[in-house]
Each structure stands twice: as structure tokens, then as C-alpha cells.
Amino acid sequence: MTDYFHLTIDRDRLLSLSTLGLAHLGDGVYELMVRSWLVLHGKAKAKDLHRATVKYVAAPAQAERFERLRSLLTQEEEDVFRRGRNTDPHSVPKAASRAQYQTATGLEALFGWLYLQGRAERLNELFAAMMEETL
């Protein structure tokens, strides 16, 4: 049985996955981390948790927070981010610019890529860098 909470996929297989697939998975990973962060830090009342989550996972917020960790990326991580960012979006949400949406997609691809390798410690490092000034 596959353990979907502790995946470890080799890099060759990762390279064969679509960038949008990585971003789709990374979006869920990032949102789960934000939800956990909100609950653990008491950042929102129970009735406001959804609204608070949306505030942090929206493309403009992701793009802004990505700048906090850009300098921490390895060359390989930067390459994965760039692949995700350069994926041509089918549509862009009204609340985001094309550049913001593409940056958010790159971030999500990176988070999906790290998740599939079982690199939870690295995900936590990058997430902490994104959220540290918010405490």
C-alpha cells in the first residue's frame, strides 16, 4: 500500500512529471501548511479560518512571500521553481497579475517537488522563512 503522507520518489521519475501536476500537488501541500500554521498560532477565530487561509494561499500573497525565500533556494530548487513559473497558465485569476500567478505556480511546483521526495524538513525551512515576519 502506498503511504501518501511519506512519499519518496526518485529524481528521474520526478523529471517525468508535469510541472502543472507538481504545482497542483504543491498547492495542496502549501495550503495544508498554512492551515496548520493558522491553527497552531491562533491567527484566526474558528469562524474566520477559511478567510484567513485564502488570504495566505492566494497568488498575490504567495508571490510576495516567495521573495522572502528566493535567496535560500539551491540551484536545483531554483530550476524547479523556474520550470513552474514558466508554465503557460490557461487562465489567471482576477485578483492576481499574470506575474503573480506565475510566481505562485512556480512556488507550488517547488513545494510539490519537495513533497514527492519526502523532504519535509526542507519544506518546513522554506515555509518558516515565508511566515516568520508574520508572527
Residues in the chain: 135
Average pLDDT over residues 111-135: 90
pLDDT tens digits along 44-58: 777 888 899 999 999
Residues noted as catalytic: 27
The 3-state secondary structure of the chain reads CCCCCCCCCCHHHHHHCCHHHHHHHHHHHHHHHHHHHHHHCCCCCHHHHHHHHHHHHCHHHHHHHHCCCHHHCCHHHHHHHHHHHCCCCCCCCCCCCHHHHHHHHHHHHHHHHHHHCCCHHHHHHHHHHHHHHHC
Where do the structural domains in the chain lie, given as residue ranges? 11-134
CATH number attached to the domain at 11-134: 1.10.1520.10
55-95 residue pLDDT tens: 999 999 999 999 999 999 999 999 999 999 998 777 777 88
Rounded Cα–Cα distance for residues 16 and 35 (Å): 30
Q: What angle do CA 37, 65, 84 make, to 5 degrees?
A: 105
Do 113 and 68 meet the contact criterion of CB atoms below 8 Å apart? no
pTM of the full predicted structure? 0.91
Could you tell me the sign of the dihedral formed by the alpha carbons of 75, 21, 25, 58, in that order? positive
pLDDT digits (tens, 9 = 90+) for 3-41: 888 888 887 888 889 999 999 999 999 999 999 999 988
